Amino acid sequence: MKKLVAMYLLMAIALCTLMLSPLSVAAEKKLTIAFSQSTMNHPWRVSLTNDMIYWAEKMGVDLIWNEGQNDAARQLTCVEDLIAKKPDALIMTPLQSKALTPVKELCEKAKIPLIVVDREIVAEPGQGMYVSFIGEDQVEEGRQAAKLLVTKLTEKYGKPKGNVVEIQGTIGASPTIDRKKGFEEVIGRYPDIKLVATQSGDFLRGNAMSIMENYLQRFPKGQIDAVFAHNDEMGLGALQAIKAAGRTEMVGWICSIDGQRDALKAVLDGELLIVVQNPPYFGELGIKTALAYLKGEKVPARQWLQFKAFSADTPESRKTTQEYYNYLVANDLMY
- Three-class DSSP category at 110: helix
Looking only at residues 51 through 70 of this chain, which bind another protein when binding is defined by CB under 8 A? none
CB of 236 to another protein, least distance (A): 8
Say whether residue 218 binds another protein (CB under 8 A): yes
Nearer to another protein, 16 or 301 (CB): 16
C-alpha dist (Å) from residue 330 to 134, 326, 327, 333, 334: 28, 6, 5, 8, 11
Of 222, 48, 5, give the one whose Cα is nearest residue 136. 48
Q: For 220, list phi and psi in degrees, rounded to 5.
A: -65, 170
Closest CB to another protein among residues 182, 237: 237
Residue 41 found at the interface with another protein (CB under 8 A): yes
Q: 274-277 and 309-311 as β-strands: parallel, antiparallel, unpaired?
A: antiparallel
User: How many DSSP H helices and E strands does the chain contain?
Assistant: 11, 12
Asked if 93 contacts 116 with a C-beta cutoff of 8 angstroms, the reply is yes
Nearer to another protein by Cβ, of 108 and 262: the residue is: 262
User: Counting contacts by CB under 8 A, is residue 194 touching another protein?
Assistant: no
Candidates 42-50, 117-125, 182-190, 317-325 — which segment interacts with another protein by CB under 8 A? 42-50
Q: Are residues 75 and 93 in contact, defined by beta-carbon separation less than 8 angstroms?
A: no
Could you say whether residue 217 binds another protein (CB under 8 A)?
yes
Among 75, 132, 168, 311, indicate the residue that binds another protein (CB under 8 A).
168
> Cβ-count burial of 217 within 10 angstroms (0-12 exposed, 13-18 middle, 19+ buried)?
exposed
Considering only 110-118, 134-142, 156-164, 191-199, which stretch makes contact with another protein by CB under 8 A?
191-199
Of 199, 317, 320, 322, which one interacts with another protein (CB under 8 A)?
A: 199
The crossing angle, in degrees rounded to 10, of helices 232-244 and 205-218 is 40
11 sits near another protein (criterion: CB under 8 A): no
Residue 236 near residue 205, CB atoms below 8 Å:
yes
**Which of the ranges 20-28, 94-102, 155-163, 211-219 carries the binding residues for another protein, by CB under 8 A?**
211-219
**Closer by beta carbon to another protein, 46 or else 292:** 46
Nearest to another protein of 246, 296 (CB atom): 246
Residues within window 221-260 making contact with another protein, judged by CB under 8 A: 237, 240, 244
Q: Which residues of 277-304 are buried (b: 16+ CB within 10 A; e: fewer)?
A: bbbbbbbebbbebbbebeeeeebeeebe
Q: How many residues bind another protein (CB under 8 A)?
A: 26
Give the amino acid at 142. Answer: G
**Given the complex with another protein, which of 50 and 151 has the nearer CB atom?**
50
- Among 14, 73, 84, 171, which residue interacts with another protein (rule: CB under 8 A)? 171
Burial of residue 203 (CB within 10 Å: 0-12, 13-18, 19+) is buried
CB of 69 to another protein, least distance (A): 10
Residues near another protein (CB under 8 A) are 40-43, 46, 168, 171, 197-200, 205-206, 209-211, 213-215, 217-218, 237, 240, 244, 262, 334
